[in-house]
Chain A
Amino acid sequence: MTIHNDLPFSRRDLLKGGGALVVGFHLGGMASPALAARGDVAGPPDPGVIDTWIAVHTDNTATIYLGKGEFGQGNTTGLLQIAGEELDLDMSQLKWVALDTNVTPDQGATTSSSSIHRGGPQVRAAAAEARSALLALASTRLGVQAGSLTVTKGVVSIDGHPARSVTYGELLGDKPFNVKFTGTAPQKPIGRYKLVGARVPRVDIPEKASGKYVHMQHLRMPDMLHGRVVRPRGQRAYGDGAKPLSIDESSIAGIPGARIVRKGDFVGVVAPEEWDAVKAAQALKVKWRESSTLPGNADLFARMRAAKTTDTVIADWGDAAAALASATHVATATYRCPYQSHAPFAPNCALADVGPDGALVISSTQDIYNSRAMLAVVLGLPVEKVRVQYCEGSGTFGRSCYEDAAQAAAVMSQAVGKPVRVQFMRWDELGWDDYGPAHLADVRAGVDAGGRLVAYEYHGWQHGWMINETTHELVHATPPKELTSGPPSIPVNRMSTGSMYAVANRRVVSHAVPMVGYLKGAPLRSPLDLSFAFASEQTIDELAFAVKMDALEFRLSNIGDARWLGVLNAAAAAAQWRPRVAAPSLSHAEIVSGRGIALGTHHVSYGAAVAEIEVNRRTGEIVAKRVCGALDAGQAINPALVENQIIGQMIQATSRTLKEEVRFEPTGVTSLDWSSYPVLRFAEHPEVIPVVVQRLDEPSTGAGEEVMGATAAAIANAFFDATGVRLRQYPMTPERVKAALAAART
């Protein structure tokens, strides 16, 4: 029996032939998974066999089948390093393929900075087991015990007899391992690591520089149509949907080949030429049912506070109320944090070919298997008839509109019987995003006369996340669906609200606001941790000021955990922090400067930041001059990748702290482009000094989100240092700065 170990169709191979990237496929129909070529049957492939994870080729290379997608964070490089380390292969001998529900293992969603944290140990164990199997084969071939074999770059030789050798490719070349994945194979001791911990260049960067890299937006299918969604510009209140009362078909009659696709409340257009689809979507006259039930930015926080909430006590140690009553100094304040958009640089794009017997959908989803399940419901097909492939788009930073675009393409393809490529327009992506939810916080904390933190109390209000996607809800005209507890609600994160401090009395309460009547929510990079840190770490800073202590010193003296101390000291050292009490010499100069320090996290890694800013007291403008961020993510597989992530986090967090806010009226969202949803621009970016606190002996944890909160709070604390005034709402726009400074003068 011959097993074909062909790679699943490689987009790069298909790209050959003039740059026109055309993909084709045939739907699964093979009788037996055992006889099928890789990719011919619906997955997920059996995670309990090594062949699902690794294939060794005759040219002495290996393909590692990763279940975590490359989103530009470099996880592919890191995961290949882990595999190469255990297999004793170098980077040039390792290949990877795009995620595909017929091909790649289900390692769960590429979310929560989990690629290395949760995906890494699986890849390491699989590679170790593959190595053991290869050594067993070599032992037989070379006639010595496996214990006397060494491996270098996939060449197995006998200790002391380097000429007596055999390669992995010769041992197994494109044949299956037929070995169970038990997870029990011995793994390489950390002391012998060569690839792990090394600053290996990213595997995806050369083609991203040359322009040969294939992004989702580059893909085409033969005979496809271009599709666009048609919706009101800017979403209305969740629950009000977008109901077309009438559609004037004659409004696009003059556009060649343009057709309307309507299913339930879903409206889209298709046309053979992309520009015609764009024009048709803009020209189509639709009368929408009116809606005016959002609070608008003006009434948002009052409505959240008045909402009938579902409350959960997240942490309750000691007696916070009593400790606050007896504290020497208490800091009490309310903080207001905005809706923010994922705002991917390129709007999402998807390609779908849906027929009566099955569907292929390609998108930039963070979870191909969940995407497949959702598409099956929308299309009314059995899940095994839907194949989903991942192709990198632009950075998504959580759940942007990729599922919405994928479902829209699939619905339109099903309706017209041809492949359809949907590209969201800028206003679709910004206006119909599932936003990072707004947050309202009441924080109180107290110190004793000696500067010891004795009490901490945090109350947070926010709503949860979308369960179904917008296209799904429009197609099926389903009633709003949400949960206020359990997944996918988003409670206050206990890790981000004072957990780093040794405080005996701590109470954290989450007030879940129902999402109906607000904007759609979804996880946005470091979900709500910016908001939690913005509120929590300003409170801590106020207490340091109250007891006339340096902000770093105050934190050091109230923390016992060596890893928190590690990042705090690392960030302070990078910034050459000199101890002094904040806001020592307030100036009336037009431009004043300040510095701030703060901590933050997402789940388990440790983040600290120092920010240095200038404030123009006349114009209200804040310029972030320099930010230093330290991240302890345990064993950093590739410190260069972590540094890159720290830089990205700190620039994006600066953007979110200073500029980003979804604007909306009672009738809908008005942030629809880069003018109405401004982000940090090139000329505004601070210098970034990234510091990786390497801990080779600790498990690897996430590295893509944990410095965001610290950065936001460090900027806010720097504002106080510069002006002597607290700004308790972000983004810290010129208007808010001027208002806060004016209020402080009266």
Chain B
Amino acid sequence: MADELKIKVNGEMRPVTASADTPLLYVLTNELRLQGPRFGCGLAQCGSCSVLADGKEIRSCVTPVANVVGKSITTLEGLPAIYAQQKGLARAPALHPLQQAFIDVQAMHCGYCYNGMTIKGSELLAQNPKPSEAEIRAHMNGHLCRCGTYPRVMQAIKLAGNTMAGEQR
């Protein structure tokens, strides 16, 4: 039977009708109709479904929805707002600086893995605005890209770090 859960997603409390064991991904995509997190493997191997839970990247495809009750979930859609909060900006920009950097370096091909690339890259930049190449490689290593765009992801993370350094409050 469907349980009655409430989860906080992108700043809003949302009621959920799915059963408690349903992976968060299916709730986000089918009930809340969010486009950021998306199915890739269902095995926590690729990073396609990544979201932030209290600012930390998790794999929504293997996380039962009941496990995130009481946590604050941020999806790709909520990244600009959480960035504004982190930076103390008066209003949220249209895009997180990493999203803008992906456009600036023309990074993606199919773009499907970029939910995960953006979530994970933003997590890194929130902790470490000037990551070295080695730090970027290590941090991003759980996120696969089949089109082969890793070099441009690397370039964009560095570029976004520079942008963010210029947006100190």
Residues of A within 8 A of B (CB): 18-21, 71-74, 201-202, 204-206, 208-215, 217-218, 220, 273-275, 278, 343-347, 392-395, 397, 423, 425-426, 640, 644, 647-652, 655, 673-675, 679-683, 685, 687-688
Contact = CB atoms under 8 A, between A and B. Distances in A.
A275 B109 contact: no
A345 B48 contact: yes
Contact of A205 (B39, B106, B113, B147): B106
B41 A651 contact: no
A644 B144 CA distance: 17
Given A395-B110, A682-B141, A210 B43 contact: no
A683 B120 CA distance: 14
A277 to B, nearest CB: 10
Given A274-B30, A346-B40, A655-B148, A209 B114 contact: yes
A346 B48 contact: yes
B31 to A, nearest CB: 10
6 contacts: A201-B103, A393-B110, A394-B146, A673-B41, A680-B150, A683-B140
Contacts of B35: 19, 211-214, 218
Contacts of B163: none
Nearest to A199: B106
Given A275-B22, A682-B143, A71 B110 contact: yes
A205 B153 contact: no
Contact of B110 (A212, A392, A679, A687): A392
A72 B147 contact: yes
B91 interface: no
The 8 closest A-B pairs by CB, nearest first: A651-B148, A208-B111, A72-B110, A72-B109, A394-B112, A685-B150, A648-B148, A345-B146
B95 A209 contact: yes
B25 to A, nearest CB: 9
B111 A213 contact: yes
A556 B95 CA distance: 49
B95 A210 contact: yes
Contact of A215 (B18, B38, B137, B147): B38
B38 A346 contact: yes
A520 B109 CA distance: 27
Given A209-B99, A682-B153, A648 B39 contact: no
Contacts of A673: 41, 43, 45
Contacts of B83: none
B92 interface: no
Interface in B14-42: 18-19, 22-23, 26, 29-30, 33-36, 38-42
A71 to B, nearest CB: 7
B76 to A, nearest CB: 4
Contact of B141 (A18, A19, A681): A681
Contact of B109 (A347, A395, A682): A395
B147 A648 contact: yes
Among A74, A343, A673, max chain B CB count under 10 A is at A673
Contacts of A425: 42
Contacts of A204: 111
Contacts of A275: 18-19, 22-23, 26
A208 B108 contact: yes
Interface in B109-154: 109-115, 118, 137-138, 140-153
A217 B39 contact: yes
Nearest to B23: A275
Contacts of B34: 19
B111 to A, nearest CB: 3
A327 B115 CA distance: 57
Contact of B147 (A213, A274, A395, A423): A395
A205 B26 CA distance: 26
Among A18, A274, A679, A682, max chain B CB count under 10 A is at A682
Contact of B114 (A208, A214, A393, A679): A208
A234 B39 CA distance: 20
Contacts of B33: 18-21
Contacts of B150: 651, 680, 682, 685
A644 B112 CA distance: 16
A209 B145 contact: no
A651 B149 contact: yes
Contacts of A397: 146
B144 A679 contact: yes
Given A209-B103, A210-B94, A345-B110, 12 more contacts: A72-B147, A202-B106, A208-B102, A209-B100, A210-B99, A213-B111, A274-B29, A394-B146, A647-B151, A652-B147, A682-B144, A688-B151
B35 to A, nearest CB: 5
Nearest to B100: A209
A643 B71 CA distance: 42
Contacts of B152: 644, 647
A691 to B, nearest CB: 14
